[in-house]
C-alpha cells in the first residue's frame, strides 16, 4: 500500500510537475515560433499537432515533396509533429554548408539521447575536442591496419605476380 502524502506535499509535487511541463512547452514554443526557418516559404500547416505529416504520409511519399519543390522552389520548410519546422533543400551549396559546418547547427537533444542509448556515444554523437580525438584515434587505427595488411600480403602478391602477368587480359 502506498504511504499517504499530506495535502501540501501532493500540491508541491503537482506544482513542480506543472512548472516543468510549462518550461518544456515554452522551450518548444520558442524553438518553433522564433526559428529563422519560419521566414522561408512552405505549405500551410493544416494541424497544430501533426503539422504537414498527415499530408505526407497519407499520399505517395515522393509525390508531396516533389509537388512542394515545384510550388515553393528549391528550398522550403514544412512542419513536423508539434509544428516543428523541417528544412527541405535541393541547393547543393546549402547542403555542403550544413554538412561541413555541422557544429554550428544543433542536433535535437531527443535524437542525440535516443541514438546514444542505442549505439553509444560514438564518433557521430560527440562534438568539439572529443570528436577530434576520436577522429585522430580512428585514423591512427586505420593507418596501422593498412600497414599490417600491406606487410602481410605483399609477399603473397609478389609470389603471384608472374602468373598474373602471364594471364591474358579480357
User: Percent of the chain, pLDDT > 90?
Assistant: 17
The more confidently predicted of residues 50 and 109 is 50
Mean pLDDT for the chain overall: 81
10 Å CB burial of residue 9 (0-12, 13-18, 19+) is: exposed
pTM over 0.75: no
pLDDT in tens, 62-83: 788 889 999 999 999 998 888 8
Domain ranges, ordered by start, for the chain = 1-34, 39-106, 108-170
User: What distance in Å separates the CA atoms of residue 129 and residue 121, rounded to the nearest whole number?
Assistant: 14
Between 5 and 134, the higher pLDDT residue: 134
What are the start-end ranges of the H helices in 4-127?
Answer: 7-34, 53-58, 63-72, 92-100, 109-119
d(CA 108, CA 110): 5
Amino acid at each position: 500500500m502506498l504511504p499517504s502524502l499530506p495535502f501540501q506535499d501532493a500540491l508541491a509535487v503537482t506544482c513542480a510537475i506543472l512548472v516543468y511541463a510549462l518550461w518544456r512547452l515554452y522551450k518548444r514554443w520558442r524553438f518553433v515560433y522564433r526559428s529563422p526557418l519560419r521566414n522561408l516559404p512552405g505549405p500551410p500547416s493544416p494541424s497544430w499537432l501533426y503539422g504537414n505529416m498527415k499530408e505526407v504520409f497519407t499520399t505517395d511519399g515522393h509525390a508531396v515533396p516533389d509537388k512542394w519543390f515545384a510550388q515553393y522552389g528549391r528550398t522550403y520548410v514544412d512542419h513536423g509533429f508539434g509544428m516543428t519546422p523541417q528544412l527541405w533543400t535541393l541547393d547543393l551549396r546549402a547542403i555542403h554548408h550544413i554538412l561541413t559546418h555541422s557544429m554550428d547547427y544543433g542536433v535535437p537533444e531527443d535524437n542525440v539521447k535516443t541514438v546514444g542509448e542505442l549505439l553509444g556515444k560514438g564518433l557521430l554523437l560527440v562534438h568539439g575536442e572529443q570528436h577530434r580525438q576520436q577522429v585522430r584515434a580512428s585514423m591512427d587505427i586505420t593507418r596501422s591496419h593498412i600497414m599490417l595488411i600491406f606487410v602481410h600480403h605483399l609477399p603473397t602478391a609478389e609470389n603471384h605476380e608472374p602468373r598474373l602477368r602471364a594471364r591474358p587480359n579480357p
